Amino acid sequence: MEFIIAIVMGGVIGWLASIVMRTDAQQGIFLNIIVGCIGSILGRFLFGQFLGGGHLRGNAFDPMTLLTAFIGAVVLLAIVNLVRRGRVR
């Protein structure tokens, strides 16, 4: 059950990050899930010590976990945009 919740929350986080970074029209639900889940890992790695967020599989509804995952997904999309377009956007 935790895996399904992590996939759903990863999709929501990826979708919100793609709206913020204005890449929503370019990616579908599959890429939103991937961005959200990888962004959660990246956010926990980069900002976990400062914000105290856990990971989506264990603490999916914790506000700090959601914030950490969202920031990580935005950073991931910024890096992808920088590589693909030469600018963050």
Burial of 86 (0-12, 13-18, 19+ CB in 10 A): exposed
Task: Identify the pLDDT of residue 24.
Answer: 73
How would DSSP label each residue in 10-46? HHHHHHHHHHHTT-GGG--HHHHHHHHHHHHHHHHHH
pTM of the model: 0.82
- The one-letter code for the residue type at 29 is I
Report the C-alpha gap between 76 and 56 in whole angstroms.
Answer: 16
For 13-34, how does the pLDDT look when each residue is reduced to its tens digit (9 = 90+)?
889 998 998 887 777 888 888 8
Q: Tell me, what's the pLDDT at 9? A: 85
